[in-house]
Amino acid sequence: MNKTPSSIWRNPVHFLAFGLGSGAAPKAPGTFGTLAAVPFYLLLAELSLVPYLVAVIVTAVIGFWLCGKTSRDLGVHDHPGIVWDEFVGFWITMIAAPAGWLWIVIGFVLFRLFDIWKPWPIKAVDQHVHGGFGIMLDDILAGVYAFLALQLIAWWII
């Protein structure tokens, strides 16, 4: 396991890539990163659909650079503490989600499942696409899978 570099507390780019420090968790940094994304989701959820989508796209584009720069600076491809991709993946999961904590929990669980399980093509992307784009893309795809599953569950229940 990679140690958390001290630069995350000094370098604003590393701090953001490490999910405002949530990626420094000694165990399950991806889960802690996803948890740290929830309060920001609550703010984003106040937006209508189009501004929400714009915010997700902007944070994804920023994430390509943040994650790539931090990865290069640390000399480690996809350091486990880089969790900006989990933030964006969770926010993708929650696009147009029904309101309420139950749906946040369901979205959280679905996103973590797809991010850990990595069904095709997520695993292939994780293994073969490098740099900031690769770091972000597998979680974007996990977010899309979780989004589809969440919408299907909501359609059946509501």
Tens digit of pLDDT at every position of the chain (158 positions): 457 888 989 999 999 999 999 999 999 999 999 999 999 999 999 999 999 999 999 999 999 999 999 999 999 888 999 999 999 999 999 999 999 999 999 999 999 999 999 999 989 988 899 999 999 999 999 999 999 999 999 999 87
| Measured distance CA(157)–CA(18) in Å, rounded | 36
Q: How far apart are CA 134 and CA 63, in angstroms?
A: 11
Task: Please give the structure tokens belonging to residue 109.
Answer: 């669980």
Instruction: Write down the domain spans for the chain.
Output: 6-157
Full-model pTM = 0.95
